[in-house]
Amino acid sequence: MSGTDLPARASRLRGARALFTTRDGGVSGAPYASLNLARHVGDDEGAVAANRERLRAAIGVDVVYVDQVHSADVAVVGEGDEPDGGSVRTADALVTRRGDIALAIMVADCLPVLLVDAEAGVVGAAHAGRAGLLGGVLENTVAAMQALGADVERVRAEIGPSVCGSCYEVPAAMRADAERTLPGIGATTRRGTPSLDLRAGAVLALTGAGLRAGHVLSDAPCTVEDERFYSYRREQRTGRLAGVIRRA
């Protein structure tokens, strides 16, 4: 990134300018301290606006947000969609060919997944929580990118900071239901209780959609374990970090 020294975890995706924000570098007070980017969590609206402006300056272009509802819906951001610093529509993933904007997905344990086909100039950002992941949000995002000219064999993806399988404890029945829908997503916590490994599920979904296994990065920190990031499971009342991507 250029323009500011905003603390962030740099993405390793080739062919895109991308980052995952931490909770540092903003102006929000506790319990949202300090770079909360979400308007729906109870934070001061002025602070959120200031934080979003800091992100815009860091990424170098206007940032498009979306109202996330744990769906599998994908919004295509075209020439007629002018970002205004707010949400353009309700969906849980965004794709575009535009180079004058960045796409943002907000999370606090769910998976922020960034995708790019550098040759086609197509980028995507997806919010993959349990419901969205099982509902096909990642497959739908890949399909939407293909409709814009992406070649699935060139698409690269990175899963950002998110809850790991050792921390995402769920009821046994929920794990069994999820495993039936996406075999391989079931896991066990360090205490031996049922859990879901959303990252493993995301890798399975992406490779099942045609991505090469070597094109999917999935080794980001766990948000529950790493206090640099917001975690709903750890704190409940907290802010949201963002995965942000724009064309190189």
The 10s digit of each residue's pLDDT in 122-170 is: 999 999 999 999 999 999 999 999 999 999 999 999 999 999 999 999 9
Q: Structure pTM?
A: 0.94
Mean pLDDT of the chain: 93
CB atoms closer than 10 angstroms to residue 99: 13
CB 62 within 8 A of CB 102: yes
List pLDDT tens digits, range 36-57: 999 999 999 999 999 999 999 9
Q: How confident is the model at residue 245 (pLDDT cuts 50, 70, 90)?
A: very high
**Domain spanning 10-162+217-247: which CATH class is it, in words?**
alpha beta
pLDDT value at 72 more than 50: yes
Query: In sequence order, what are the beta bridge partners of 115?
Result: 124, 157
pLDDT value at 198 more than 60: yes
List of residues 6+ apart from 2 with CB closer than 8 A:
60
Question: Which is it for the CA torsion 174, 240, 192, 188, positive or negative?
Answer: positive
Predicted local distance difference test score (pLDDT) of residue 2: 40
Q: How confident is the model at residue 78 (pLDDT cuts 50, 70, 90)?
A: confident
Strands (E), the chain: 8-10, 16-21, 62-67, 74-77, 87-90, 93-96, 101-107, 111-117, 122-128, 156-159, 186-188, 194-196, 216-217, 241-247
Q: What are the structural domain ranges in the chain?
A: 10-162+217-247
Strands (E), 119-172: 122-128, 156-159
Predicted local distance difference test score (pLDDT) of residue 3: 39
Predicted local distance difference test score (pLDDT) of residue 110: 98
Predicted local distance difference test score (pLDDT) of residue 29: 95
Helix (H, G, I), strand (E, B) or coil at 188: strand
